Chain A
Amino acid sequence: MKEPLVQVTDHGLFVPAADLYIDPWKPVDRAVITHAHADHARGGSGRYLSAQAGHDVLRVRLGSTARIDTLPWGERIRMGSAHLSLHPAGHILGAAQIRVEVGGEVWVVSGDYKLESDPTCRAFEPVPCHTFISECTFGLPIYRWPTPRAVFGDILTWWAGNAERGRTSILFGYSLGKAQRLLAGIHLELLDQGMEAPGPILVHGAVHRLLPPFHRAGVPLPDVLRANRESARASEGRALVVAPPSAGGTPWIRKFGQVSTGFASGWMRIRGHRRRRGGDRGFVLSDHVDWPGLLTAIRATGAERIGLTHGTTGPAVRFLREEGWDAWNVPTRFEGEAGSEAPDGSDSGEHETEGQEDA
């Protein structure tokens, strides 16, 4: 059998033909980064390659000294004996799938992706390939996302209801990607419904510092205020505050008076997770692919071999095999049912876990 184009090593996924690691877990000489979330973009490597659209957010994560090269969408470059190109994954701003071609054989590594519409990033593009390595965070048929518009409609109804009762609405979503998607989605939904916002929109500092790249990318964001004592007092009982989940249950939240809390994540599809988060409302909004989306994406690539990674891959692997694909599990650094570590979002425990991986 031929040597696989992409191999699992103790540093992460490795492309021998290009001498390049994809989203490495440990420092390496050359890394290509699918997107700027913490569990994909780690510091310390010699040179980084990312999509042009993802440069600014990656820069915030890696700091000013990191060497970052960029590529426009779809442009092919040669590295060693491989041709490499990046394609939109629809996950967050600048999130890429990585296409590797060696001697006519094509592999695509999806990184994180979703098929739903998202005004903060380019939509997922299926890339024809022989082997597709797909994320599988939500690899069970119980995970099926509602249309984002329906979710934003629910969020507006919740916000308006809270404002009526004099409660500040605190909406938790990871500070890189999810938070901006929430802001843009709410903004567009208000415009669409011709509705006046029930109050001002405030954002946590961790969200605020990540807004400039989105502004520069032309993402339609509403006017927001940075949440502090003054803005909180001025808008108490009416405001919508977008904050990272790590801010929940900290003294930071006290400045808003009476609050109702909501959490936007794919895990909110399951009632047990909703209730365990302890918040008032769970909104099913994910930047990862759901089960029908996973099958759609796999079919669209035309791939015969499917590697699944991140999350509980076992059932999806078995299902795909029964359906005639050559499927296997691609181990990640987290063993076991690692996906389940995400819903709590409590593993890092830091205050400002900007860019902490969302689900």
Chain B
Amino acid sequence: MKRFTTLFNALDSTTRTSEKIAALRAYFQDAPPADAAWALWVLSGERLRRSVSTRALREWVARRSHTPLWLVEECYDAVGDLAETLALLLPPPDDGKSMPGPEGAGVARAATHGEKETPPLHKVMEEWIAPLRSLTDQEREERLNRSWDRLRGQELLVFHKLLTGGFRVGVGKKLVTRALAETCGMDPAVLAHRMTGRWDPTAEAFLQITSPDADLPDPGRPYPFFLAHSLDGGPEELPGPPEDWLVEWKWDGIRGQLIHRRGETLIWSRGEELVTPAFPELAEAARVLPSGTVLDGEILAWGPGGPRPFADLQRRLGRKRVGARLRGEVPVIFLAYDLLEAEERDLREQPLQERRRRLSALLEAAGIGSDPAVEPASGVPLALSPPVTVHDWAIAHALRDTARTRGVEGLMIKARASTYGVGRRRGPWWKWKVDPLTLDAVLLYAQRGHGRRASLYTDYTFGVWADGELVPVGKAYSGLTDAEIREVDRWIRRNIVDRFGPVRAVEPELVFELAFDGIRESSRHRSGLALRFPRMARWRQDKPPEEADTLEAARALLRHSRGEP
């Protein structure tokens, strides 16, 4: 735990990538595999299932620190991060300042507490945290009090981060993978592949992942997804003629990998979650493919003749079991973009053109055509994501303008010669989204942010006018510059009119242009509307609140996006 805390501090105290890599390398060189496995696991974004409720945690920390619960909440509001708040509140056993007392009292206490080192990371995870799940609340509190007795300083923060799950320390999977690959002298792409999907944080798994010539025994392992960059200008800026590029619709579903290997079929989402149980008909459909096949594609809710809104698909997500009724109400389809593996051979180094040719042939051989609009009729909810023919970029512009009425997000433009890489790389693949919809809305409520922006008011709720009243239409927390955020934060602090828990109501004065990708009806919101991916496009300092948009204008956007007059 001490070693891991040192790593945490090193990562937390620098913004330089080179220093982060150096800290990670130093850690992986020294740490025993059992610890390194857990470190790799949590730093690449995995988390244990929550073992205690945050509500109970607050109560126990309140009790231990002799702080009233309401004051714990006030502290949380000021810090913005629960794990950190709790760590800051717990009285340190060894600094002698926990309660005002004579000088030296702390030293005496430190002597009785100081002899025991905190156990290594894997013991903390496996013996302190994981078992909590199966205990009663009373037993949990006792166990935690014993843990708190032994943790010191920054270890408390790290412990609470591990306990509550959210482990953000400015290091992503990509960086950890790079550092670990450098440590063991491996190709980062190979390492990334081995770390994709589910693996258990054990010493054995870690050794297997990092062994230069280990076999890959797991037939369920997906490939790391290759991601596209946003195209901000137009495709005219891309090198080469349109013929060099494959154009497809950018479907509005979830990206997935469909795997059929050795009699097993699995579906992984882009977030590397196993989503097979949510889409049993897709797992079944994969059986028509030969064994040793991996497809990259999009999972969509699909109605007669076309895609259905993302909100429909959401009803299927995260389910352990999907009944016949929901399957009937929200039929789904897998539209294949790419062929990553055929006949158990990794095809990612072949050009896209060739992979697509084999994909078409494979689907055809399985009795699946290339038009998704007619395909579900064959009974197999699986089809090719059809290429869009573009000989002239002007046509691409025209097609992109029809995206919203087609229920797609825009166009994908991929170099026909491109290999299938790892992660997001600039150049070969582009997503060209339709211009967002916009509304000018008034800031109504603010809440503090998280991470780097904890303690600043950065999460905002906006409203538009309806019958002389401002009705909330959406929340947004991105799009402003750091300087703007600070300025808005200061304004908010001077203009608070009401408080509800962590939420602050402010004078309805500031107007922002909200940009969003879609709009739909929603009975869950007072406005009757829900925005998709809203963000702040601009701070309209030129606009008084009276000139913000109306609910009627928002409804017009909804009608327009459905192709209605």
A336 x B67 contact (CB < 8 A): no
B71 x A340 contact (CB < 8 A): no
| Distance between Cα atoms of A144 and B85 in the complex (Å) | 12
The answer to whether the Cβ of B423 comes within 8 Å of any Cβ in the partner chain is: no
Say how far B124's CB is from chain A's closest CB, in angstroms: 20
The answer to whether the Cβ of A105 comes within 8 Å of any Cβ in the partner chain is: no
Q: Using an 8 Å CB-CB cutoff, how does the interface string of B440-452 with A read, 1 for contact, 0 for none?
A: 0000000000011
| Distance between Cα atoms of A140 and B65 in the complex (Å) | 13
| Interface window among B257-265, B283-291, B489-497, B552-560 | B489-497
| Distance between Cα atoms of A267 and B169 in the complex (Å) | 19
With A142-B75, A340-B493 given, is the CB distance from A275 to B452 under 8 Å?
A: yes
| Distance between Cα atoms of A269 and B87 in the complex (Å) | 11
| Interface window among A106-114, A179-187, A220-228, A276-284 | A276-284
From A147, A280, A292, contact of B14 by CB (8 A): A280
In B70-113, which residues have CB < 8 Å from any A CB? Answer: 70-71, 74-75, 78-81, 84-85, 88-89, 92, 95, 97-100
A270 x B494 contact (CB < 8 A): no
From A272, A273, A281, A293, contact of B13 by CB (8 A): A281
Say how far A200's CB is from chain B's closest CB, in angstroms: 25
In A289-340, which residues have CB < 8 Å from any B CB? Answer: 292-293, 295-296, 299, 312, 314-315, 318-319, 322, 335-338, 340
Say how far B18's CB is from chain A's closest CB, in angstroms: 11
A336 x B494 contact (CB < 8 A): yes
Q: Using an 8 Å CB-CB cutoff, how does the interface string of B151-169 with A read, 1 for contact, 0 for none?
A: 0000001000000000000
A276 x B456 contact (CB < 8 A): yes
Chain B residues positioned under 8 Å from A280 (CB to CB): 13-15
The answer to whether the Cβ of A29 comes within 8 Å of any Cβ in the partner chain is: no
B494 x A142 contact (CB < 8 A): no
Chain A residues positioned under 8 Å from B68 (CB to CB): 319, 322
Chain A residues positioned under 8 Å from B520 (CB to CB): none
| Residue picked from A271, A295, A314, A340, most chain B C-beta under 10 Å | A271
With A272-B453, A319-B71 given, is the CB distance from A140 to B13 under 8 Å?
A: no
The answer to whether the Cβ of A72 comes within 8 Å of any Cβ in the partner chain is: no
With A315-B71, A337-B493, A346-B486 given, is the CB distance from A270 to B100 under 8 Å?
A: no
The answer to whether the Cβ of B227 comes within 8 Å of any Cβ in the partner chain is: no
Say how far A349's CB is from chain B's closest CB, in angstroms: 12
| Distance between Cα atoms of A151 and B222 in the complex (Å) | 48
The answer to whether the Cβ of B12 comes within 8 Å of any Cβ in the partner chain is: yes
| Distance between Cα atoms of A350 and B89 in the complex (Å) | 36
From A144, A295, A344, contact of B88 by CB (8 A): A144
Q: Using an 8 Å CB-CB cutoff, how does the interface string of B46-81 with A read, 1 for contact, 0 for none?
A: 000000000000000000010110110011001111
| Distance between Cα atoms of A341 and B97 in the complex (Å) | 28
B81 x A272 contact (CB < 8 A): yes
B78 x A335 contact (CB < 8 A): no
Chain B residue at smallest Cβ distance from A314:
B74
A141 x B89 contact (CB < 8 A): yes
Chain A residue at smallest Cβ distance from B67:
A141
| Distance between Cα atoms of A25 and B75 in the complex (Å) | 30
The answer to whether the Cβ of A212 comes within 8 Å of any Cβ in the partner chain is: no
Q: Using an 8 Å CB-CB cutoff, how does the interface string of B470-492 with A read, 1 for contact, 0 for none?
A: 00000000000000001001100
| Distance between Cα atoms of A193 and B85 in the complex (Å) | 34
Chain A residues positioned under 8 Å from B494 (CB to CB): 335-336
The answer to whether the Cβ of B118 comes within 8 Å of any Cβ in the partner chain is: no
The answer to whether the Cβ of B5 comes within 8 Å of any Cβ in the partner chain is: no
A270 x B84 contact (CB < 8 A): yes
Chain A residues positioned under 8 Å from B88 (CB to CB): 142, 144, 269-270
A336 x B493 contact (CB < 8 A): yes
From A146, A295, A315, A341, contact of B74 by CB (8 A): A315
Q: Using an 8 Å CB-CB cutoff, how does the interface string of A96-133 with B read, 1 for contact, 0 for none?
A: 00000000000000000000000000000000000000
Chain B residue at smallest Cβ distance from A290:
B97
A336 x B496 contact (CB < 8 A): yes
With A140-B78, A142-B85 given, is the CB distance from A272 to B97 under 8 Å?
A: no
From B100, B453, B454, B490, contact of A296 by CB (8 A): B100
Chain A residues positioned under 8 Å from B92 (CB to CB): 144
Q: Using an 8 Å CB-CB cutoff, how does the interface string of B410-439 with A read, 1 for contact, 0 for none?
A: 000000000000000000000000000000
| Distance between Cα atoms of A283 and B379 in the complex (Å) | 65
Chain B residue at smallest Cβ distance from A275:
B452
From B67, B80, B486, B489, contact of A272 by CB (8 A): B80
In A229-278, which residues have CB < 8 Å from any B CB? Answer: 269-273, 275-276, 278
* Extra pairs beyond A280-B13, A281-B13, A295-B100 (18, CB < 8 Å): A142-B78, A142-B79, A142-B88, A142-B89, A144-B88, A144-B92, A270-B88, A270-B454, A271-B79, A272-B81, A275-B451, A276-B455, A276-B456, A280-B15, A315-B71, A336-B494, A340-B489, A344-B486
A-B contact pairs, 25 of them (CB 8 A): A140-B71, A140-B75, A141-B71, A141-B89, A142-B89, A144-B97, A144-B98, A145-B97, A147-B95, A147-B97, A270-B454, A270-B455, A272-B452, A272-B453, A276-B452, A276-B453, A276-B455, A280-B14, A315-B74, A319-B71, A336-B494, A338-B493, A340-B455, A341-B490, A346-B486
Using CB atoms and an 8 Å cutoff, list the residues of chain A in contact with chain B: 140-142, 144-147, 269-273, 275-276, 278, 280-281, 292-293, 295-296, 299, 312, 314-315, 318-319, 322, 335-338, 340-341, 343-344, 346
Using CB atoms and an 8 Å cutoff, list the residues of chain B in contact with chain A: 12-15, 65, 67-68, 70-71, 74-75, 78-81, 84-85, 88-89, 92, 95, 97-100, 157, 451-456, 486, 489-490, 493-494, 496
Pick the 5 closest A-B CB pairs, nearest first: A272-B454, A142-B88, A296-B100, A336-B493, A315-B74
